[in-house]
Copies of this chain bind each other. A is one copy, B any other.
């Protein structure tokens, strides 16, 4: 049991930031890594990786209907994820059932199996629990954070 290193300066052992904006960039990257690590540790006992969990969560959104690869990819957090290969592994574990598309022969369509649904539910409970215990942020702060993050990304590209 030890106190988590809070300050970015400690986490990456540097205090030479050009600006608050540059520091914010690093802070977002570091916090994302921290959050990801947090849930990965929990997911491991369910035999899932972060991205496999993400795909299961997305599939649940349409359950018991099927989704094609493209629809899943569009909902992934990391857009360059190679969805077909993540699904390969979920199919091997029988958490997802994959069949050829009917009205469009190019598509492969996926649905959660009963096992997939059940693993998803227990792992989600576990992650919610950990977040509850570890991510210290009230609703008001979370809303402020959401606004700031969306502000960052608002420029044309």
A36 an interface residue at 8 Å Cβ cutoff? yes
Q: Is the interface of A mostly helix, strand, loop or mixed?
A: helix
Of the candidates B23, B25, B75, B128, which one forms a contact with A14 in the assembled complex, judged by CB atoms under 8 Å apart? B75
* A141 vs B80: C-alpha distance when bound (angstroms): 29
Interfacial residues of chain A within 127-157, with CB under 8 A of chain B in the complex: 128, 131, 133-139, 141-146, 148-157
In this complex, the interface size class of chain A, counting residues with CB under 8 Å from chain B, is 35 or more
21 A-B pairs (CB sep. < 8 Å):
A2-B157, A5-B153, A12-B77, A14-B58, A19-B139, A20-B146, A21-B138, A23-B142, A24-B142, A28-B28, A28-B32, A28-B35, A28-B145, A29-B36, A29-B77, A31-B32, A33-B79, A38-B157, A136-B152, A136-B154, A145-B152
Chain A residues at the B interface, C-beta cutoff of 8 Å: 1-8, 12-14, 16, 18-38, 58, 61, 74-80, 128, 131, 133-139, 141-146, 148-157
